[in-house]
Structures are given as C-alpha cells and as structure tokens.
Amino acid sequence: MKFAKKKGYKICPRCGEKCLIGQERCNECNLIFSRLQYASNKAAKKKLRKFDNDFIVYTSTFPSDLKYWKLLLLTIFTGLFGGHYYYCGKYIKGGLMTASFIYTLFCTIFNQVIVEQIPGGESMYVLVGIATFSWIVSLCFLLCKKFKVPVIVDMPKSEVVE
C-alpha cells in the first residue's frame, strides 16, 4: 500500500501566497525565490529612513546582515523601550515604544501629583499596559521565529543582466 507524498508548501514573503517548495517564483506577485539569498536589511533601513517602501519585503527569514541572537538579546533587555525595533529597521514602532517608555517614567515619577490634578488620572496607565503587552508579543514572535524584518532583495552587480 503506497501513501501519497505530501506536497511541501512555503509562504511568499511579499504577498503571503502559498507556493510549492520547488517553485521558482510566486504565482501571485512574481517574486523570484532564489533572489532572497541576496536580501539585505541594511538597504531596507536606508529606504525606510527616506519613507520609500516600494521594494521592501517583510520576511521572517533573517538576512545575513541581521543576527537572530542580537535581536533576541535586544528584545529581552531593551525591548520595553523599543531597542529591537531600531535594530531591525522598524523606526516608527521603535519611536512609539520609546515614547511610551518615557511616558511610563513620567507617570511613575509624578504619579501622586498627576492623579490628584486630573480627574480619571488612573487611566494614564493604559499606555503602560499596551507597551508591556507589545514587548511581550514581540518576544513571543521572536521565540516562535515569526518576527518579520524588512529586507530588500538586491542582486549583486556581477549577476545583473541588462
């Protein structure tokens, strides 16, 4: 009795379409999978600083210029104020996390004064809970290898054909 082999699938990092393992390009967005070995996070960071998101792909496969263990340590030790987001190039999320951490410090230092002055001042701690929850979710995604990093697929100059 023969059993049929299960076909292996992979997810396209650009569009999320299911593709067969041996497939060369995505049917939906025409991303050539062999070019993912040339993915660069440094080039994506440069594009993100200029708010140019045209060729950026978010993938959970780490490129060679981004180290998993560094990202894990940054998430554990500086994750509450967004250090891991700055390392991988997600500057807006990093800025929001840093702002919420500064707000947390502000609320902690001036707690008594603010709560007495503002009616309903206890609701200020909602942002603290959101920031902590975001940090824990980032750590869980990283440990499950589902954390997405921005990359750009650059071809080396020697392989570009005009």
Sequential DSSP letters for the chain: ---PPPPPEEE-TTT--EEETT-SB-TTT--BGGGGGGEEHHHHHHHHHTT--TTEEEESSPPTTS-HHHHHHHHHHHGGGTHHHHHHT-HHHHHHHHHHHHHHHHHHHTHHHHHHHSTTGGGGGHHHHHHHHHHHHHHHHHHTT---EEEEE---GGG---
On average, the pLDDT of the chain sits at 80
77 and 116 together in one domain: yes
CA pair distance 108, 51, nearest whole angstrom: 34
> Does one domain contain both 102 and 142?
yes
Handedness of CA 153, 156, 161, 162 (dihedral sign): positive
- Mean pLDDT value of segment 125-147: 85
**Is the domain of 57 the same as that of 9?**
no
Statement to judge: residues 44 and 23 lie in one domain: no
Q: Are residues 90 and 131 in the same domain?
A: yes
94 and 146 co-located in one domain: yes
Q: Are 42 and 53 in contact (CB under 8 A)?
A: no
Torsion angles phi and psi, residue 29, rounded to 5: -115, 0
Question: What are the backbone dihedrals phi and psi of residue 150, each rounded to the nearest 5 degrees, phi first?
Answer: -80, 135
Confidence of residue 4 (pLDDT cuts 50, 70, 90): very low
Is 162 among the domain residues?
Answer: no
Q: Which amino acid is at 91?
A: Y
Whether residue 85 is contained in a domain is answered as yes
Number of domains in the chain: 2
Highest mean pLDDT among 41-45, 55-59, 72-76: 72-76
In this prediction, residue 57 carries a pLDDT of 83
Same domain for 10 and 66: no
- 26 lies in the same domain as 87: no
Which tokens sit at 72?
């894990």
Domain assignment present for 127: yes
Residues 48-59 have a mean pLDDT of 83
Same domain, 26 and 43: no
Do 6 and 83 sit in the same domain of this protein?
Answer: no
Tell me, yes or no, whether 71 lies in a domain. Answer: yes
| pTM of the complete model | 0.73
Mean pLDDT comparison of 36-40, 74-78, 107-111, 122-126, highest-scoring range:
74-78
pLDDT exceeds cutoff 70 at 161? no
Average pLDDT on 122-128 reads 65
Region of poorest pLDDT, from 61-65, 69-73, 96-100: 61-65
Residue type (1 letter), 149: V
pLDDT at 94: 92
Statement to judge: residues 57 and 112 lie in one domain: yes
Q: Are residues 82 and 151 in the same domain?
A: yes
Give the domain range for residue 130: 39-156
